[in-house]
Amino acid sequence: MKNIKWSMLALAACGLLWQSATTVQAEEFPSKQINWYIHSSAGGGTDIFTRTVSAELREKLGVPIVVSSMSGGSGARMLNYMMEQPADGYTIVSLTNSNLATMARRNTEAQREDLVGIARGCYDPQALMIAPSVAKYKNIDEIIAAAKANPGKVKVGITHVASVDHVAAYLFSKAAGLQLEYVPFSGGGEIVVALLGGVIDAGVLNPSEVMGQVEAGNLTAAVLFVQERLKDFPDAPTAKELGYDVEMNTWRGIAVKKGTPEPIVKKIRDAVAEIMQGEKYQKYLADNSMGPESVMSGEQWDAFMDAEWPLWKEIMTELGYRK
């Protein structure tokens, strides 16, 4: 009986020591540079979102935050690297739908349960964009007609195979009875360059990636994959207006590795929540055709990803990418 009591006391003591150590660790966090990784190239929507948040987070936490692109395998390289790092809050990743698709394809060691959500910051509309001055096809009707007359010849730029861009274009082509040629790039910035150079006929992009080019008249939306028309693209029809039940948004958020101490998770969540509710971030959303509903807290964000996870496994299975 004495042995049992001593064992219970020892366990309780260990628990108190662990809790005390975790509390001290959280109080000291952060005490060094934080590394933040994205899976896409510079200039795209994920890069812009990440740098928008990280600039303010750097000031709030008082340590350097270095944003790095770790492209490869639609996020597989980034996620595998995260899995190799300690769960201590010093490694942060930006997540998109495309990363869930990569996990659903089992192309990475990471799975949904290996990630803890910090916040969702974007719910970004998607559109099929063209460059009017160089495009062979000037509107969506011409694109559809060309794709039907020449199956597999109309080139559409996407970020990575099996990405959210690929899925959006695939669902539209399926609904419209088209065969398209999908041309993968490392990020939205590269798609923009390819569009302006006439290398591709159209590209799936988010307003947040191209508003400067849109305002300059270099790019325009041929069709929107959203519920209703966007104020920044008053002349662009939605896919639903054309009779195709296709809707797709790119969501972007922030996560850390599972096992990161809860007090540290809370500290990062609280800082990011304050940033995203602030005037500067809300202006960023408004300037890029997004609303306040884009923002989700950590708990909401985790629940959202839990709900999305089976849907992306289903889509990847349909496309034949799920191993």
Q: Divide the 323 residues of the chain into consecutive groups of 10 and give the mean pLDDT of each group.
A: 53 48 68 96 89 97 97 90 98 95 94 97 94 95 97 95 92 96 92 96 91 94 93 93 94 97 98 98 93 94 96 92 83
- Residue 153, domain member (yes or no): yes
- Residue 308, domain member (yes or no): yes
- Residue 217, domain member (yes or no): yes
- Residue 76, domain member (yes or no): yes
> In terms of domains, do 93 and 41 share one?
yes
Helices (H) and strands (E) in the chain, counts: 11, 10
- Residue 20, domain member (yes or no): no
Decide the pairing of beta strands 155-159 and 202-205.
parallel
> In terms of domains, do 120 and 135 share one?
no
> In terms of domains, do 265 and 116 share one?
yes
pLDDT at 155: 98
Which H or E element spans position 85? none
Calpha distance 99→191 (Å, rounded):
19
Exposure string (b/e) for 37-69, b if CB count within 10 Å is 16 or more? bbbbbbbbbbbbbbebbbebbbeebeeebebeb
pLDDT at 40: 87
Calpha distance 116→79 (Å, rounded):
13
> In terms of domains, do 44 and 111 share one?
yes
- The CATH number covering residue 38 comes to 3.40.190.150
Calpha distance 147→173 (Å, rounded):
9
Calpha distance 240→288 (Å, rounded):
22
> In terms of domains, do 217 and 268 share one?
no
pLDDT at 9: 54
Between the alpha carbon of residue 322 and those of residues 8, 287, 313, the distances in Å are 47, 37, 7
Domain count, the chain: 2
> In terms of domains, do 212 and 67 share one?
no
> In terms of domains, do 131 and 203 share one?
yes
- The CATH number covering residue 159 comes to 3.40.190.10
- Residue 71, domain member (yes or no): yes
- Residue 240, domain member (yes or no): no
> In terms of domains, do 256 and 118 share one?
yes
pLDDT at 72: 82
> In terms of domains, do 255 and 109 share one?
yes
> In terms of domains, do 111 and 139 share one?
no
Parent domain of 149: 127-224
pLDDT at 7: 53
- Residue 13, domain member (yes or no): no
> In terms of domains, do 214 and 281 share one?
no
